């Protein structure tokens, strides 16, 4: 946005120095007001008449994009001076008789009420430090960060890893990194991530022509398309021949280091698409779908908002008891409480069974195969529409290629035994050797997600949740054909009910089909922070599963 918008420069806002930010804000204010004055009515329209629709639209000369960015800064910047000044600039523009934007939606997630998320400006010192790091690095405080901050320890590791992958020294040029992010997110029609990285791609000097479709990108990136689609949908099909094809192509070959960087980026954004859909992440305020220039009506929303599915705050946050008889609400609440108690009882019984007897290796193998087979038949009967997304198919080839259960139609894929090829013993060292420090960063992120616990379950405290976390992680890997010899897969059916399995499989395999009803239907008595924690497990288990298949193929090629 910087150069292409002429004199409006945003760079200085990312400074930690208040004086630098103040100077940048003064320049932005002057540039915006100069531009506004060229399209404002001859006589400024009194604000009291704004509701009459007499304000001039701001679409000319790119002003609407600038005003949307200021709106985002007024709501989402961790620095109070930037929030206040951005709001003041918008007010001054409105005084000139120009319509300013307002946010659509309510908060960073469509699934989590805004009042239950961290409000920018009300965060504690640790969260503020994370928000400031994110903003100074990316130039924004995005909705993913505002939902992940339920778990600050994980968020810190996530941001550090993502920053290294996108901005620090590495084998791939910066614009390639963002383009690969676009390719990966587009496989799941994740327009939220595509929008962010289109902006970042252009900001680091990427060629806008590449955004017209993958066929307009260099052949080297086009060659990555096959690996992208297999990693996203059927990673068990990746072989050393696929790796050889990328490394041996005469003119457009990849080096091993470049390929490792690309694979880590692809798996990062496939799994981040899962988080985006799994937590119902809303469009960014300054992106398409995040704001509107339509004037609000007296009741705070106009008829055009209603027809487009945007409703007033009161309606969104209304208590379910407002429309459902109280007796039914009490029954549902009691049922949910019983679910928590039943789950805790099952965990206790399983622990006692573990202590008493251990199943034979043959029985453990049989239970794995049974769970793998059953996971194929876990599917949603959901007819609710998932979140509407902009068509992003031009960023990838073969739009019909999607997730397929690996044993359908008689096709058999051998079980991937972690004892033969694991992240800890094989993948970690391969990544670290070819792309220094990234293996360490990923390893830390995997461990934080897997081991993260507050020893709580819903309203219960001092609970050991390790059995439940392991069941979730191993169920995801089981769906990918990955087996741990020392795990009893019979525990999964005891701990994960059908609605939870449907949610897990949808978020991991076809995240674009995730709906709010799916999110609401599992663990009904648990906190939103606990459901976000589940999503962190899904993200990391999925990423590790994809990496294992890709890295094993690379290892086989190298040997």
Q: Which residues are CB-contacts of 387 (< 8 A; sequence separation ≥ 6)?
A: 110, 277, 280
**Distance (Å, rounded) from C-alpha 478 to C-alpha 492?**
10
Q: Which two tokens stand for residue 25?
A: 């804000």
Name the catalytic one among 14, 190, 279, 287. 190
- Determine what percent of the chain falls in helix, strand and coil, rounding each to the nearest 5: 65, 5, 35
For tokens 């960014």, what's the residue?
284
Residue 190 among the catalytic residues: yes
DSSP letters for 385-446? --------GGGSS-TT-----TTGGG-----EETTTS-IIIIIHHHHHHHSTTHHHHHHHHH
Longest dimension (CA), the chain: 86
Beta carbons of 84 and 117 less than 8 angstroms apart? no
3-state secondary structure string across 338-359: HHHHHHHHHHHHHHHHHHHCCC
* Residue 556: count of CB within 10 angstroms of its CB: 14
Question: Of 16, 47, 12, 46, which is closest to residue 29 (Cα–Cα)?
Answer: 12
Q: Which two tokens stand for residue 460?
A: 């219960």
Q: Calculate the alpha carbon distances from 453 to 152, 257, 464 in Å.
A: 12, 35, 8
Question: Pairing relation of β-strands 291-292 and 416-417?
Answer: unpaired
Question: Which secondary-structure segment (H or E) carries 292?
Answer: strand 291-292
Residues marked as catalytic: 190
């Amino acid at each position: 946005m910087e150069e292409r918008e002429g004199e409006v420069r945003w760079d200085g806002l990312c400074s930690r120095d208040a004086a630098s930010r103040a100077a940048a804000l003064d320049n932005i204010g002057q540039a915006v007001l100069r531009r506004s004055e060229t399209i404002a009515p001859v006589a400024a329209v009194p604000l009291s008449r704004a509701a009459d629709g007499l304000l001039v639209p701001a679409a000319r000369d790119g002003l609407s994009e600038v005003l949307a960015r200021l709106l985002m800064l007024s709501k989402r910047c961790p620095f109070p001076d930037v929030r206040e000044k951005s709001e003041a600039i918008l007010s001054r523009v409105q005084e000139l008789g120009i319509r300013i934007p307002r946010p659509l939606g309510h908060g960073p997630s469509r699934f989590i009420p805004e009042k239950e998320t961290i409000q920018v400006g009300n965060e504690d010192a640790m969260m503020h430090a994370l928000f400031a790091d994110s903003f100074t690095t990316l130039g924004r405080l995005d909705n993913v960060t505002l939902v992940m901050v339920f778990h600050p320890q994980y968020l810190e590791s996530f941001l550090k890893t993502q920053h290294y992958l996108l901005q620090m020294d590495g084998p791939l040029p910066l614009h390639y990194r963002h383009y690969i992010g676009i390719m990966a997110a587009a496989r799941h029609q994740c327009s939220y991530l595509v929008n962010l990285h289109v902006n970042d791609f252009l900001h680091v000097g990427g060629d806008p022509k590449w955004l017209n479709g993958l066929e307009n990108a260099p052949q080297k990136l086009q060659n990555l398309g096959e690996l992208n689609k297999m990693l996203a949908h059927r990673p068990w099909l990746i072989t050393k021949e696929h790796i050889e094809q990328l490394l041996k192509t005469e003119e457009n070959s990849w080096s091993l280091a470049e390929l490792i960087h690309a694979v880590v980026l692809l798996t990062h954004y496939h799994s981040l698409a899962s988080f985006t859909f799994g937590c119902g992440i809303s469009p960014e305020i300054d992106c398409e779908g995040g704001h509107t220039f339509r004037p609000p009506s007296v009741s705070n929303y106009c008829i055009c908002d209603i027809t487009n599915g945007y409703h007033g705050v009161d309606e969104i946050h209304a208590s379910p008891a407002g429309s459902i008889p109280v007796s039914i609400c009490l029954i549902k609440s009691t049922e949910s409480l019983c679910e928590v108690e039943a789950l805790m009882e099952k965990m206790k019984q399983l622990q006692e069974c573990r202590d008493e007897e251990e199943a034979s290796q043959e029985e453990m193998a049989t239970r794995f195969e049974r769970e793998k087979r059953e996971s194929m038949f876990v599917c949603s009967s959901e007819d609710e529409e998932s979140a509407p997304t902009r068509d992003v198919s031009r960023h990838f080839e073969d739009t019909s290629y999607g997730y397929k259960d690996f044993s359908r139609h008689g096709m058999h894929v051998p079980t991937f035994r972690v004892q033969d090829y694991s992240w800890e013993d094989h993948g970690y060292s391969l990544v670290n050797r070819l792309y220094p420090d990234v293996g360490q960063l990923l390893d830390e992120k995997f461990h934080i997600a897997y081991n993260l616990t507050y020893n709580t379950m819903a309203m219960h405290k001092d609970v050991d949740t390790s059995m439940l976390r392991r069941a979730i992680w191993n169920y995801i890997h089981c769906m990918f054909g990955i087996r741990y010899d020392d795990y009893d897969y019979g525990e999964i059916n005891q701990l994960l009910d059908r609605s939870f399995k449907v949610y897990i499989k949808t978020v991991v395999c076809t995240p674009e089909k995730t709906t709010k009803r799916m999110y609401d239907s599992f663990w009904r008595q648990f906190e939103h922070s606990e459901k976000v924690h589940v999503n962190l497990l899904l993200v990391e288990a999925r990423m590790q599963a994809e990496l294992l298949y890709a890295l094993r193929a690379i290892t086989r090629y190298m040997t």
